[in-house]
Amino acid sequence: MIEVERLTKRYGSTVAIQDVSFAVQKGEVVGFLGPNGAGKSTTMRIIAGSLGASSGRARVGGHDVSENPRAVQAMLGYSPEVPPVYGNMTVRDYVEFAARIKGVSDVGAAADKALDRVGLRQVAGRVVENLSKGYRQRVGLAQALVHEPAVLVLDEPTSGLDPAQRVEIRELIAELAAGDRTVVLSTHVLAEIEAICTRVVIINRGQIVAQGEIGKLAGAIGVIRLELARPGDAAIAALKAVPGVIGVETDGARVVVRAEGDVRAAVAAAAVPFGLHDMIGRERLEDIYLRLTAAGASV
């Protein structure tokens, strides 16, 4: 549904993204992760057609974004991190305005549905500029949903929301993605990615550093956490001798083993003679993210 091929965006001598490539299939919910300044918003803006690329191509539903932007905009809903709202309009007027310019036939019904979905019906008559940041985020999400797009590109959709509101929007996104709708979601709240997304794409310094299912990314270089009754040089040596183990670190009774592939059974067997009390054998998304972006954000 979304195809990105070698996208590059330059601002003078500054390269924001370089040779970015990935694909999102119909019905997938993909998390787009990276540090601030890594190129997430640039990439999402190019996919949505609000920013041109220096080179490369982006397609949505088979339509080239640069060659056929109207076809792309008809099937795509985009909510940027700072929603493009008109502060002097009421919430309802703005959402109806968004429906109108997107060619919705029954503007009123579409606006009602979008407002209900994101929990804005009670503030529909209020002026947008008088709303809290969290409610303005919801207005931005409502305009992205109002024309029932097949593809949603959401850049930090829960920014500014309190914990309860985050849960509501997370559930909404999961509901929207339950059918054939395709979603690309950027957020710094990794728990949201783990709860909603089937796959992740991680960008750092303007380049894709990893993509795939979270479990498979964890399996590439796994982190196994152990708690031993008798940690020491002999335990470390035994763990290092396990095929596939590439590093062992200790902090008192706690031992962290880094390995290539799934070596949990072999690591557990090697640890048992040293009093294995506990073992956590799955790398968390946070671990994967920090490992892959350890070099820091791009400019």
243 shares a domain with 200:
no
How many folded domains does the chain comprise?
2
CB atoms within 10 A of CB 54: 14
Nearest to 165 by CA among 127, 220, 123: 123
Q: What is the CATH number of the domain that holds 71?
A: 3.40.50.300
9 shares a domain with 155:
yes
**Cβ burial 108-135 (10 Å sphere, 16+ → b, else e):** eebbbbbbebbbbeebbeeebeebeeeb
Pairing relationship of beta strands 182-186 and 151-155 according to DSSP bridges? parallel
Q: What pLDDT, on a 0 to 100 scale, did the predictor assign at position 293?
A: 81
Least confident stretch, 116-125, 191-200, 285-294: 285-294
- Find how far residue 195's CA is from the centre of its chain: 11
Contacts of 157 (CB under 8 A, 6+ apart): 79, 137, 140, 141, 169, 173, 185, 187
Indicate whether 178 belongs to any domain.
yes
Indicate whether 187 belongs to any domain.
yes
Indicate whether 155 belongs to any domain.
yes
Cα dist. 269→48, 127, 252 in Å? 51, 64, 20
250 shares a domain with 182:
no
**Cβ burial 234-255 (10 Å sphere, 16+ → b, else e):** ebbebbeebeebeebebeeeeb
Of 185, 212, 239, the residue that ends a domain is: 212
pLDDT at residue 163 tops 60: yes
171 shares a domain with 23:
yes
Of 178, 212, 246, the residue that ends a domain is: 212
Tell me the mean pLDDT in the region 111-127.
Answer: 94
Tell me the mean pLDDT in the region 210-230.
Answer: 79
pTM, entire model: 0.78
pLDDT at residue 8 tops 70: yes
268 shares a domain with 181:
no
Q: What is the pLDDT of residues 38-85, one digit of tens each?
A: 999 999 999 999 999 999 999 999 999 999 999 999 999 999 988 888
User: Can you read off the two tokens belonging to residue 1?
Assistant: 């549904």
Q: Which domain holds residue 181?
A: 2-212
Of 212, 231, 248, the residue that ends a domain is: 212
